[in-house]
Structure 1
Amino acid sequence: MREPDSAHPRMGMHRTEVDGWLAEWRIDRCGIRMISVCDGSDEPLVSFTAASAPDLVQMREQFPELERLWDAIRHAYWRELFGPRDIRVDGSSSRCADPSHCR
C-alpha cells in the first residue's frame, strides 16, 4: 500500500490513496486541482489535463461517494501548507492572527 499522501516526481503533484482509490492532485494558487482518480484498474475514473483540472469542490459534488478520499486530500493539502503540527482537529491553523476568522 502506498503512503496516504506522497509527493509525485512531477513538480507539485501529490498522490493520495484511500479505500483502494488513488487520486493525483496538485496545489494551484492555494487550491486543489484534481488530475486523475482511479480505483486500481488500468482505466481511470476521471483524468484531466492541468488546464482543465477541476477543483476539489467540483469533484466532491460529482462523486460524493468518495467522501473519504476527498477528506484525505483536503487534510494532506492543509498539512502541506502549514505542516503537521499547525493543523488543529477543527481544521484551523495555529498561525492565524485572529482565530475567530479561521473557522
Structure 2
Amino acid sequence: MATVQMAGSPLGGPPREAPREPPREQGAGFRRLSARLRALRPDDSSASRTEIHLLLDQLISENYSAGGGVAPEDVSTLLVQACRLVPLNQNHLVSKVSQLTHHLLNTLQLPMSG
C-alpha cells in the first residue's frame, strides 16, 4: 500500500498552515475604491457605465464594520460623486447607488441628517 504525502505536510505530522496575509487596515478598500470612483467624470459611454457598475458592486461587497476607519465625510463625498456620475435614465445604476447608500448607512451606522 502506498503512502500519500500532502504538499507541505511532513509524513505523519500535522499539515502546515498556509501563510496568512497581514490584516488589512480597516477602511483601506473603501478608500481605494472611493478614490477610483471620485476620479471618474460624468460620461454616458458604455465603458463608463461598466466601470461605475463594477466599482459600485465592489463598494457594496466590501467588508465594513461600524467605526471601521471610514469617516462619515468620506461616505458623504462618495455618495455625492456616485449620484453625479449615474444618469437618472440608467435604472440599474440608480438602483446600485441606492443599494450602496443603504448598505453604507446601515453597516457603518451613520446618522442621516437633512
TM-score between the two structures when normalised by the length of structure 1? 0.31
TM-score between the two structures when normalised by the length of structure 2? 0.29
Determine which structure has greater relative contact order: mean sequence separation of CA pairs < 8 Å that are 6+ residues apart, divided by chain length.
Answer: 2
Which is higher, the Rg of structure 1 or of structure 2? 2
User: Which structure has greater strand proportion?
Assistant: 1
User: Which structure has greater helix proportion?
Assistant: 2
